[in-house]
Amino acid sequence: MRILVVEDTEDLADAIVHRLRKLGYAVDWAPTGDEAEELLRQEAYQLVLLDIMLPGVDGQTLLNRLRQRRDATPVLVMTARSQVNVRVDLLDLGADDFIVKPFDLRELEARCRALLRRSHGLASSRTQFGNLVFDAAAKKVLIDARPVDLGGREFRLLELFLSNLNTVLSKEDLMDRLFSLDQPTALNAIELYVSRLRRKLEGASVEIRTVRGLGYVAEVCAEG
């Protein structure tokens, strides 16, 4: 999942980016509202973490402009202002959630999971697909109750497929969502990750098929 962090405090931004990348997310960073606005017009994100007090265009204006052009990307506001009226104003502007600074990165991670899950219509972090159980909160995958050892990017790749069942995803789609702008990679890297994931999912009710000339599609089939 591709996440944009909009935060002008470099130490905090670095901590957030490092944490989320370690979990396998593709994360870009914008230290100003102007840079964030440019990225949001050029790139597709599944989540925006937005500071309010920013140099140039402030976070509130950025959020307002995002919603005015009918961009429904989930936005988690990070703010040091905890007053109720501030939170109400932000929610009315179109924020999906907020977290008050200073915060524990574990809470931020949980709120990110919740917003990403909600945007894909999933009610719980733990979801079952035939004999495969995907637990986003525990970062676990089970096949017939047997744990499957997945690396961070393999885990996110599976999450992408499960969130888009029966939908063909091109290699470009997968690359855009798995790698940040400062992590250039080749399309054959996607082939490698898909191949590894397929091997690890042997015996699962979820099958990843190649659609020649188009990409890949995940489908739930009859159990093993």
Residues 6 or more apart whose Cβ sits within 8 Å of residue 62: 6, 33, 36, 37, 40, 50, 54
> Does residue 90 sit in helix, strand or coil?
helix
> Does residue 126 sit in helix, strand or coil?
strand
- Do 151-220 and 2-120 fall under one CATH topology? no
Q: Label residue 215 left, alpha or beta by phi (over 0 means left) and psi (-120 to 50 means alpha).
A: left
Name the residue ranges covered by the structural domains of the chain.
2-120, 151-220
Look at the block and give the residue holding tokens 């204006």: 61
For domain 151-220, give its CATH number from 1.10.10.10, 3.30.930.10, 3.40.50.300, 3.30.420.80: 1.10.10.10
> Does residue 21 sit in helix, strand or coil?
helix
Question: What global pTM score does this model have?
Answer: 0.74
Q: Which fold has domain 2-120?
A: Rossmann fold (3.40.50)
Q: How many CB atoms lie within 10 A of CB 64?
A: 13
pLDDT, tens digit (0-9, with 9 covering 90-100), for 40-51: 999 889 999 999
Give 206's strand partners: 220
CA–CA dist 37, 18 (Å, integer): 22
With b for 16 or more beta-carbon neighbours within 10 A and e for fewer, the 176-197 pattern comes to bbbbbeeeeeeeeebeebbeeb
Q: How many CB atoms lie within 10 A of CB 74?
A: 20
pLDDT, tens digit (0-9, with 9 covering 90-100), for 139-188: 899 999 999 999 988 999 999 999 899 999 999 889 888 888 877 677 78
**Predicted local distance difference test score (pLDDT) of residue 224:** 44
Cβ distance 50 to 6 under 8 Å? yes
Reported in sequence order, the residue ranges of 54-212 that DSSP labels E, i.e. its strands, are 75-79, 97-100, 126-129, 132-135, 140-143, 146-147, 206-211
Tokens of 4: 């944009």
If you ran DSSP here, which 8-state letter would residue 103 be given?
-
Q: pLDDT 10s per residue in the chain (224 long)? A: 789 999 999 999 999 999 999 888 889 999 999 999 999 999 889 999 999 999 989 999 999 999 999 999 999 999 887 778 888 888 898 999 999 999 999 999 999 988 988 876 666 678 899 999 999 888 899 999 999 999 988 999 999 999 899 999 999 889 888 888 877 677 788 999 999 999 999 999 999 999 999 999 999 986 54
Q: What is the DSSP string of 64-83?
A: HHHHHTT----EEEEES---
